[in-house]
Structure 1
Amino acid sequence: MPRSTAEKRAAFRELHRAGCFVIPNPWDAGSARYLEHAGFKAIASTSSGFAWSTGHPDNGVTRDTVLAHLRTLVDATELPVNADFESGFGDTPEQVAQSVKMAVATGVSGLSIEDSTGDANAPLFPLSEAVERMKAARRAIDETGGDTLLIGRAENFFAGVPDLDDAIARLQAYAEAGADCLYAPGIQSAKQIRAVVAAVAPKPVNVLIGSNSSLTLQALADLGVRRVSVGGALARAAWGGFMHAAQALAEGRFDGFGGAASGATLNAMFQPGA
């Protein structure tokens, strides 16, 4: 019997209470279904992976398109879905709150709010403004039942401001503003990760592993990390295979399909009830 939205959200919260889990990032219904088939306990959307699938750059997709995509992911799987909700699709805290309510209505079990502006001259919102935006997201969730997890993201290392002390100050402020889980994408070393985990304890921390890393899941768990996401890495891996095969075709060769999945395997996996 399909799980209700409330059941998915309760299961998602429980995953954050102890241990360390991987939350991979599909970019469409098929990749979401595969990740459920592979045994993962939750998934998260990827703004970049989805944008590329529509022929747009990261952060180049409209709010309505993203909301429709979130509904597609939620409907595709019994797993809890965490929304990469960029910076909240609003110029003001009030607009962020409105967008968050729309995201909650899609059935997602969690959503993240970034503090990046998209402006190269001022890549991060001033902390006071970023906090007000996080508080607005918190209020919006509370007004819609309060069971959707809120993730606060400090984008320093992605926005060209790789200041760990500032990122930690931001994460602490977001925790105070009501974020349930904290995330500073781009931190990589064990020292950085340990510092972030300690600074926001006991709230859970998400770490992004978007490329080959010497860190294992066990090592991250030992550092106190609660969940590990991969952002657009799976989408980039798929694009890499596609581009390799397409380039071979463009050169008159047919040797780019060596690692392709079989049609029979894919058809069997997507059969109703499979």
Structure 2
Amino acid sequence: MVNSADPAAVFRALHHDRAPGDALVLPGPWDAASARVFEEAGFPALATPSAGVAASLGHEDGSTPADEMFAAVRRIVRAVSVPVSADIEGGYGLPPKELVERLLETGAVGCNLEDSGPDGTLDDPAEQASRLAEVRAAAGDRLFLNARVDPFIRGAADPVAEAVARARLYVAAGADCVYPIGAPADALPRLRAEIEGPINVGAPPGGPSLQEWGALGATRITFGPGLQRRATAALREIAAELR
């Protein structure tokens, strides 16, 4: 039985024993108001997008200062009663223990950690696995660790094979879930067959339906900054009408 008083345990349980086609859909709030909208719509948990939060704070993706990102996550968590996971990019250069402490201070129950740098270079997989293991050791069961796997967006020669190899290392290091960002639909069956544990996919506009992603092997579905950008486009239309 899951302890309902433990948000991290509740969040972790949402990822397990899901039927094919029934992927966990996690909208990405960029501020407190959007978080409340998603909670009111009935979503059981949320996952912040770093790029969406950055845009809401007036920053380019990847340039948000750590203090501002953690403060934004704290406001989002405070606004809702459902579990919230936070995209914290590559961890802002913080030592694992400090990173975990700062995350827990926000009230977040999980995080994404990327395995490539701002220059587009993939991190050494063994070093990233070691870092993930340190984060897991510092966090225990208090955080759900979603390890982003970046070969598809970084031009790897064989992104599927590279993603599988990295994902296996990260799962062995203690990751609860892996996120092969940018993986196309036709790669997902092989990823599902060769990777143990939950798999996160990003659902781009115009791609497979949420149900199709689930049937292909996705455990959970996120949207990056897509929802924030759609909201901004709608706001532009409103602004144009006002003019």
What pairs up with 1:149-168 in 2 under 5 angstroms?
Answer: 149-161=144-156, 163-168=159-164
Q: 1:198 aligns with which of 186, 190, 193?
A: 193
Matched, 1:137 2:135: yes
Letter in 2 for 1:136: E
1:55: how far off?
1.2
SS state at 2:6 partner? helix
Equivalent residue number for residue 147 of structure 1: 142
- Cα gap change, 1:36/1:106 in structure 2, threshold over 3 Å: closer, same or farther? same
- C-alpha distance in structure 2 between counterparts of 1:239 and 1:7, whole Å: 34
Q: 2:66 aligns with which of 63, 67, 73?
A: 63
Matched, 1:98 2:98: yes
- C-alpha distance in structure 1 between counterparts of 2:57 and 2:26, whole Å: 23
- C-alpha distance in structure 2 between counterparts of 1:112 and 1:188, whole Å: 20
When the two chains are superposed, the root-mean-square deviation of aligned CA atoms in Å is: 1.9
1:179: how far off?
0.1
Q: TM-score, normalised by structure 2?
A: 0.90
Cα shift readout 1:132-173 (whole Å, capped 9, x = no counterpart): 22112111212xxx2321111111223343622111111111
- C-alpha distance in structure 2 between counterparts of 1:225 and 1:167, whole Å: 15
- C-alpha distance in structure 2 between counterparts of 1:173 and 1:55, whole Å: 36
- Cα gap change, 1:88/1:6 in structure 2, threshold over 3 Å: closer, same or farther? farther
Q: Is the 8 A contact 1:210 1:232 kept in 2?
A: no
Give the number of the structure whose alpha-carbon radius of gyration is greater.
1
Q: Is the 8 A contact 1:18 1:226 kept in 2?
A: no
- Cα gap change, 1:161/1:255 in structure 2, threshold over 3 Å: closer, same or farther? farther
Cα shift readout 1:202-259 (whole Å, capped 9, x = no counterpart): x11111103221x22222222232111111110010111223444x3xxxxx378xxx
Equivalent residue number for residue 178 of structure 2: 182
- C-alpha distance in structure 2 between counterparts of 1:115 and 1:77, whole Å: 29
- C-alpha distance in structure 1 between counterparts of 2:37 and 2:238, whole Å: 22
Equivalent residue number for residue 271 of structure 1: none
Structure ranking higher on relative contact order (CA contacts 8 Å, 6+ apart): 2
Unaligned regions of 5+ residues in structure 2, if any?
none
Aligned length in residues = 236
Q: Is the 8 A contact 1:27 1:50 kept in 2?
A: yes
- C-alpha distance in structure 1 between counterparts of 2:65 and 2:201, whole Å: 26
Q: Is the 8 A contact 1:158 1:186 kept in 2?
A: yes
Letter in 2 for 1:119: D
Matched, 1:232 2:225: yes
- C-alpha distance in structure 2 between counterparts of 1:175 and 1:153, whole Å: 11
Percent identity over paired residues: 35
Matched, 1:211 2:205: yes
Cα shift readout 1:23-81 (whole Å, capped 9, x = no counterpart): 01010000000000001111001100110111111111111111111111111001110
Q: Is the 8 A contact 1:8 1:78 kept in 2?
A: no
Q: TM-score, normalised by structure 1?
A: 0.81
- C-alpha distance in structure 2 between counterparts of 1:57 and 1:211, whole Å: 21
